[in-house]
Amino acid sequence: MRSEKLFFNSALFKKQTQRFWPIWSLYTLLMVSIIPLYTIMDYSYNSHLEASEIAIQFQNYLIDFAVHAAPTISLITGLIIACAVWSYLHNSRSSALIHSLPMNRTSLFVTNYLTGICFFLVPNILVLLLTYGVGLSIGVGGMTGILTWFYCQTMSSLFFYSFATLLAFVTGNTLTLPVLYAIFNALVIVIYQMMNWVFGEFLYGYAWNSMSKMEQWAEYLTPVYAMYENLDYTHPIEGGMVTEIHGLGMMGIYALVGVVFTILGYLLYRRRKLELAGEVIAEPFLKPVFRVGFALCGGLAMASFFYAIFYSIFAGKFFSYMLFMLLWSAIFYIAGDMILAKSVKPRRKSLKPCAVLLVVLAVFGMLLQFDVFGYEGYTPEATEVENITITIDYNDKVIPLAFAPEGEKQEIILQVLALHEDIIAEKEHTLNTIKGNDPDMIAVQQENYANGWETWDWERVTIQYVLLNGKVVEREYQIPVTEALLENDSIGNSLNEFVNSPAVILLRHFPQADKIEYIESSIDLMNDNGIEESRWVQSFGKEASQKLMDALVEDMENGRIGIEYFLETEEKANINYENIIYIVTSGKYNTEEMSNLYKWNRWNEEEFTFHTEIRLQSTATATIEALHELGVEDEFLMTRAEYREMEQVLYGTYEKW
Amino acid sequence: MIKMQNVVKSFDGFHALDDFSMHVPKGAIYGLVGPNGSGKSTAMRHLTGVYRQDKGEVLLEGKPIYENPEAKVRIANIPDELYYFVSATTKDMMKFYKGFYPKFDEKRYEALKDVFHTVDEKRPIRRLSKGMQKQSAFWLSICCRPDLLLLDEPVDGLDPVMRRQVWSLLMADVVESETTVLVSSHNLRELEDVCDHVGIVSKGKILVERSLSELQDMVNKIQIAFPESVEMNLPADLEVLHQSKIGRVHTLIIREQTEIVLAKLGALNPILLEAIPLSLEEIFIYELGGEDYAVREIVL
């Protein structure tokens, strides 16, 4: 009783520790085996190595374990410990026993919560000390590795245990707790991906990456995924000591979030009605949330599933998707209500609120379908735009208007806006084509590769606006291209003219050209000896590369190289060479902007270099002359048509591009 | 000692306690009786601090019980459904309770081994028979030296010898330590032997709450007979709970003090007038008959 004043009861702590000894003892055994014991065994195999190598292996193992394994272990142990420690709340008899004891709820909460903390913290401390001792005994004095492990393991355990504790107060049922835990650990990212897919399917212009901030939040709200993605380390030299560990701050933040969960859990515990032990949801105010959440998530999942199954029939048909959504939301709402009522029969009481939910869903769907929110028809005003980035076929062709010369920038912005408005105006035609309802397009598609050449294709165009107010707006479209469309007045034609304008070609290949200080280059060369093909790369030094680049720039300014052909036609095969010129530049680039724009290729963050590839074209007279001057012979340069002939001769067939 | 005043407790719209008021004097053995589902166990759970009332007060000597460790440390409880930790023995539970109840009497625990000799203190309680589990519960509870002992169906499962033993222990505590005992049970014959106060519960309310002697005085079974030609005209101010007739002998159950009943009926000049004390069970049946909870004749 005296310990009541400290909100901690040693008798209860002792009892809980005794009851659940298998949990903490198994955890201790596991961690002792994986860490200090493993390092001893590893040393016994590798004792012949140099002391420095032993130290590297020792520290790197601990750090690798900390970043790659610790969160996963915590994910599991956090749940198991919470299930055990709070299990008394989920049974009416046990909760009556514990709550009839002379303790208030604050003391019960603090005692039980700290008991759970001890289940992982004490073994972690033991492992820390044992491993440090092992390190000393084998001549490794540093504590970086073991402290990193201790920090990651303890912080992640604190987070997951606290999260499971909060859920233990949401539910009154021990079996429901792991289910809720699993759901909420994955819910946000799964819902995000599904919504992304639905919007991508039905919102004209929706860009999969447009909600990148939301995606970041979805990642952070899926902690185990965020930890997997962000906890990492670098060791510049292969096999060398780890020099930098990433994500430690994030682990600290998650631990703090765990503290917040603990406080919320305590508040729920104080108001908990013990008569709800055994209920799926123990907090009455959360029951409607459960019903609606269950309905929406289940409806979304099943509607998407059935839509995918019957895609060939319902592709692009929003009303069909809505019907699936309404039907499955109703089923899941009623099922959720049955789960809460622990009944195998649907309850009449659930029909009215279910109907209300369906009406709200239907209205929301209609608002989306008729673009009441103005998403599909939106283009910014030219005066609002600070920068634009256009990407074609994802990162294959990035056009960063941020680096356009000031005099040209405004004109390019106006061109882009005009193109964007045309794309929006062509919505019905484009969607008809996507759905396969355009008879002209169907005819062209049926001829595809009939003569060995492409007659149609899709170009995926992403337009990203950075506005003056800092907002980023992104849209993505699929533009159909055929020979006829490219020649006539169409958005495909507008896109083609824009992408192949000299200013844009220069921007694509040499962004921040005025900041280049150093160039390297090389070119693919090939020939055949009648039996087999040979390929090799010829590299050029700084001066030769500068000469080559000057020629390339001259050809680009005159529209003679860098032309993109959207279709694989015979004309393209005769103009495009199989030979690709590789240019690597470095200079006083705006590195942050380069990293942001070129997420997956071209910009090398570690070396501060930019890579570009330019396919040689027969119209690039200056470039070809430069290559000749640099010693490249014509017999090693092949157009694609020539290359195709060669394949036909050598292999009896050619690869369709 | 205990005061529950205007307590209301609802579960999903159902009023388990509906303006429930009960007063248990210090040192009393109070029998709480009522039909199934009347609210007895719900009331007990309020007194153990497990449930929080929606309205009203639940007090132990003027102090609330809910979330009050100082009040709860004076209360020991044996619920109708016992719970013990998996693999916990009586000895384990003794050590457990010792950590919560400062007045826990370990000497008494040792002394009571002879009384509860059939219970192996080192055997997991869950492996004991139902009766032995009850014995273990008693053993532990009375060692807590509580000021208030709450018993829900306490002797259910105990053999007759053990029942007597347990009641003997309890009554000794009542006498020596002024322990207050609140018992809920359907075994009214047994309660009648031990209780000095009774509260009858029906539909979440206390119908009647009296000392046993007052209650027995308040409800009387009267047998009365008149000459053949004389009809019985009962005074209108007598509250008749039940009336039957066999031959010329009327049997009446009347809620009124015995002296007053005999005086009023005597004035009718019957040829037979006799007051027969009612058992607690009979009082229970007749009181609840007025609450539409009576034995019904069913024709199959």
Residue A20 near residue A116 (C-beta atoms within 8 A): no
Tell me which DSSP letter residue A91 carries.
Answer: S
Q: Determine the average pLDDT of the residues in A575-600.
A: 83
Q: Find the closest chain B residue to A284 by CA distance.
A: B12
Q: Which residues of A touch B81 (CB under 8 A)?
A: 92-93
The H or E element spanning position A159 is helix A144-170
- Low pLDDT (below 70) residues in chain B: 289-300
Which tens digit of pLDDT belongs to each residue from A11-36? 999 999 999 999 999 999 999 999 99
Higher pLDDT, A482 or A656: A482
Give residue A373's pLDDT: 86
In chain B, the domains with their CATH numbers are 2-203 (3.40.50.300), 214-299 (no CATH)
Which tens digit of pLDDT belongs to each residue from B172-218? 888 888 889 999 987 788 888 888 899 989 899 998 898 888 888 88
pLDDT band at A351; cut points 50, 70, 90: very high
Contact with chain A for residue B102, Cβ under 8 A = yes
Token look-up 């105006």 returns: A425
Q: Determine the average pLDDT of the residues in A500-506.
A: 88
Total Cβ atoms within 10 A of residue A258: 22
pLDDT band at A454; cut points 50, 70, 90: confident
CA dihedral A576, A581, A587, A589 (to 10 degrees): 40
Give residue A2's pLDDT: 45
pLDDT band at A625; cut points 50, 70, 90: very high
Give residue A256's pLDDT: 97
Q: Of the candidates B36, B7, B22, B28, which has an alpha carbon nearest to the alpha carbon of residue B288?
A: B36
H helix intervals, A480-615: 483-487, 491-499, 502-509, 542-557, 570-575, 591-597
Which tens digit of pLDDT belongs to each residue from A136-193? 998 887 888 999 999 999 999 999 999 999 999 999 998 999 999 999 999 998 999 8
Contact with chain A for residue B221, Cβ under 8 A = no
A401: alpha, beta or left? (left if phi > 0; alpha if psi -120 to 50) = alpha
pTM: 0.82
Q: What does residue A278 show for φ and ψ, rounded to 5 degrees?
A: 100, -15
Task: Identify which of A11, A94, A104 has the shortest CB distance to residue B96.
Answer: A11
Cα separation of B217 and B277, whole Å? 8
Total Cβ atoms within 10 A of residue B213: 10
A:B CB pairs within 8 Å: 69
Mean pLDDT, chain A, rounded, equals: 88
Q: Which residues of B touch A5 (CB under 8 A)?
A: none
Question: Is residue A299 packed enough to be buried (19+ CB in 10 Å), middle (13-18) or exposed (0-12)?
Answer: buried
Give residue A25's pLDDT: 97
- The count of C-alpha atoms lying within 13 angstroms of the C-alpha of A626, restricted to the half-sphere facing its C-beta, is 23
Total Cβ atoms within 10 A of residue A351: 14
pLDDT band at A571; cut points 50, 70, 90: confident
Task: Identify which of B48, B69, B85 has the shortest CB distance to residue A4.
Answer: B69
pLDDT band at A656; cut points 50, 70, 90: low
Which tens digit of pLDDT belongs to each residue from A287-312? 999 999 999 999 999 999 999 899 88
Give residue A155's pLDDT: 97
What ipTM goes with this model?
0.88
Cα separation of A331 and A354, whole Å? 9
CA dihedral A201, A204, A207, A208 (to 10 degrees): -10
Query: What does the DSSP assignment read for A203-216?
Result: STT--TTTTHHHHH
Residues forming beta bridges with residue B181, ordered by sequence position = B29, B149
Mean pLDDT, chain B, rounded, equals: 87
Give residue B294's pLDDT: 58
Q: Determine the average pLDDT of the residues in A61-87.
A: 95
Residue A492 near residue A505 (C-beta atoms within 8 A): no
- Rounded to a whole number of angstroms, the distance from the CA of B159 to the nearest CA of chain A is 24
Question: Is residue A128 packed enough to be buried (19+ CB in 10 Å), middle (13-18) or exposed (0-12)?
Answer: buried
